[in-house]
Chains A and B, each alone.
Chain A
Amino acid sequence: MVSARRSLTGLLLFVGFLLSFSNSANALPAFARKYGLRCSACHEAWPMLNYFGQKFKDNGYQLMNDRDSPVWQNPSYWPVTFRMTPSWHRESTDKITYDTPGGTPGLRRLTSSGFDYGGLDILSAGTLEKNISFQIIPASDELGAFHIEAVNARLDNVFNSPWLNFKMGKFELDNLVSEKRGLTLSANGGGYNIYHFVPVGDGNIFGQIGDNQVGMEWLGHSANDRTRLSVAILSSTDGNPDLPYGSNSYSAFFTGSHAFNVGKLGTDRVGFYAMVGQAPTTYLTDSSSGVPVLLPSSGLGNKGFSREGFVGLFYFGKLDFQVVTQHGSDSKWFGAGYGDLIDGIATGNNTPGTVLPAGARNPTWNGAFVETHWVQNPQLIFFQRSEWIRMSQQAIPGTAGNFGNIDNYVFGYRYYPFMNSRAGFAWHNEYGWLKGYGLAPDGSDLTSNSLMLGFDFDF
């Protein structure tokens, strides 16, 4: 007993000794290492950018001082960051179809939980020379299958004008509220639905503003980044390489925004975006083998689509709101199931003589989300997002007006135990809930939810 007490006493004294000398841990990912800035300088809460970070990005990953060129760096500097998220998560979906002992299908809730890990992102970006920047992101799924998430090079400040910046390659569209830098990670709350929405049965995968796209972008901004405009010309391939769809189809993405000071509250920004484009609905087939085979790159019969909306970033001290709205419209051909047949998304091939169902119309919808952040301090952020999508016109007459509507709510927090310029680390806890109207096998509403606790880190 006496020995145990002495051990306890010794342990307490030792811990006290260690604590008396303790200091916050030190650590920097690629940009932070290059410039010697903490993650929090560019990120409201990593990975979400703040105004300073947005300006840094708009300047081509440059602070616009005399140390932007890589020749200023130690030769051993390597602009690479790894990001991964091991976690425990619980997924639950109601009304899953399953076989019953009697042989008739039944519906029941399916819930599973366990430890897991997400894919790996390898992010490399920076400057090749002053005013010439690049970005390469090889990313893998959980099984290690890699794809190129982004690869592009950019000419910055051409003729010394911040209004002339040109980028070519595969890149994230200039969304003011970036899904790639979003704070939410769970299966039912991680993505922004309106960035990927297509009506149920719609064959158009080409208008997804959340997916990285292949093309060329012009970005212009005022010297202080208060006003910014961009136009991107994109191949209608949804970011896939080798032009699998053909048909010389293109899309365009436009953004514009302006920021203004609101005194002590911060700097607010309002803007708009629009994506308009065309994509094929007809593919040639070859039946010489006896079975009709689709010919890649043979897409024809371009049909149109559009997504447009307003964006607002509003700050009230520690509280801020990000608001994105969307009105979307697809050609009735997409709405009737024609479109991406190469990947098997579409259900029909718009060959000559094809007739649309009687009364088919362009499907249209409206959506919005409001994401709120409470930044207690640079190391602790609480967040929530509420998102709604409502069909305003179904492609096929007779379809229930609310079929395919979506409600999505997510909330959580991220805690960053340390803050330095070497690495990022967050304890992430999130709950997401999703409801799809009429999407259950029996035609009723389908709900699912996710609970996630994990370590999100990069270095």
Chain B
Amino acid sequence: MRTPQTILIACAMAVLALASTSSAQITEYQEQQNLGVEAHVGRLTGHAKDAEINYRRYCAGCHGNQGDGEGENAMWLDPKPRNFTLAQFKCRSTPTGSLPTDADLYDTVGRGVQSSNMPSWNPLSDQQRVDLVAYVKHFSDRWKTDKPGEAIPIPPEPAVNADKCCSRSWNAGSVTESKAARMGLQRIP
């Protein structure tokens, strides 16, 4: 009778040990695989492993420890924080569907995102920011298989004259009524 009870206790201890370390094992595995990711902006090289603490400090509350956009604040935020595991970003200079450049992510970190809860993190040093870009990239394997798209060149701003100005139209929500009126724009129904 003693043997089955001993085995039962041993099993319970094993469950306890596994439960307490299971999530850490997954994280450790992923980090071993991906923490070597780098980011390059200008002459700076960012290393994901150097941004672990800063990601926890500044980013994880919204973007989540796993980068899945499910941080503890996510449910209260609108728009929702970006899910880095999908490697899909709105603020980029590259074509739709392609990965952004490292500089795109770097600029977003430094500039913040207007009309969202993402603040400007420009108090962080350049190196800290480029390290964070590398850390953001380490959440998705897509960065291993895909290359960032080519940056879309932005043509010079065309000259504005009264005819062109008055022939332009606007969408509700893109500009305010008063501003549209000042610019002489016609509303699209």
- On A, residues with C-beta under 8 Å from B are 2, 5-6, 8-9, 12-13, 15-17, 19-20, 26, 28, 35-38, 40-41, 51-52, 54-55, 63-67, 224-225, 261, 263-264, 266-267, 377-378, 419-421
Residues of B contacting A419 in the complex (Cβ-Cβ under 8 angstroms): 56, 61
**A35 and B117: CB pair below 8 A?**
yes
Mark interface residues in B103-142 (1 if CB within 8 Å of A CB, else 0). 0000000001011010111111111100000000000000
**B117 and A12: CB pair below 8 A?**
no
**A17 and B19: CB pair below 8 A?**
yes
**A52 and B58: CB pair below 8 A?**
yes
Mark interface residues in B1-15 (1 if CB within 8 Å of A CB, else 0). 100010011001101
Main SS class of interface, B: helix
- The interface-forming segment of B72-80, B90-98, B163-171 is B72-80
Give the residue name and chain of the A residue nearest to B118 (CB).
Answer: A65
In the A-B complex, list the 5 residue pairs whose CB atoms are closest, starting with the nearest.
A12-B12, A20-B19, A16-B15, A36-B73, A38-B61
CA distance A55 to B122 in the complex (A): 10
A222 to chain B, nearest CB (A): 11
Tell me how many residues of B have a C-beta within 8 Å of chain A.
38
**A35 and B19: CB pair below 8 A?**
no
**B77 and A36: CB pair below 8 A?**
yes
**B56 and A9: CB pair below 8 A?**
no
Could you list some 28 contacts between A and B, CB below 8 A? A5-B9, A9-B8, A13-B12, A13-B16, A16-B12, A16-B16, A19-B16, A26-B72, A35-B119, A36-B117, A37-B58, A37-B73, A38-B57, A40-B57, A41-B58, A52-B58, A52-B121, A52-B123, A54-B123, A55-B123, A63-B119, A64-B119, A65-B119, A66-B115, A261-B125, A261-B127, A264-B127, A421-B72
Give the residue name and chain of the B residue nearest to A419 (CB).
Answer: B56
* Partner of B120 from A6, A65, A263 at Cβ < 8 Å: A65
CA distance A358 to B53 in the complex (A): 62
Residues of B contacting A12 in the complex (Cβ-Cβ under 8 angstroms): 9, 12-13, 15-16
Which B residues, 57 to 73, have Cβ-Cβ distances below 8 Å to chain A?
Answer: 57-58, 60-62, 72-73
Q: By CB atoms of chain B within 10 A, which of A8, A28, A38, A264 has the most? A: A38
Residues of B contacting A225 in the complex (Cβ-Cβ under 8 angstroms): 123
**A15 and B16: CB pair below 8 A?**
yes
CA distance A367 to B138 in the complex (A): 48
**A41 and B61: CB pair below 8 A?**
yes
Give the residue name and chain of the B residue nearest to A422 (CB).
Answer: B72
**B56 and A377: CB pair below 8 A?**
yes
Q: Does B50 contact A (CB under 8 A)?
A: yes
Q: Does B22 contact A (CB under 8 A)?
A: yes
CA distance A377 to B120 in the complex (A): 23
CA distance A20 to B24 in the complex (A): 11
CA distance A429 to B53 in the complex (A): 23
B88 to chain A, nearest CB (A): 22
A348 to chain B, nearest CB (A): 50
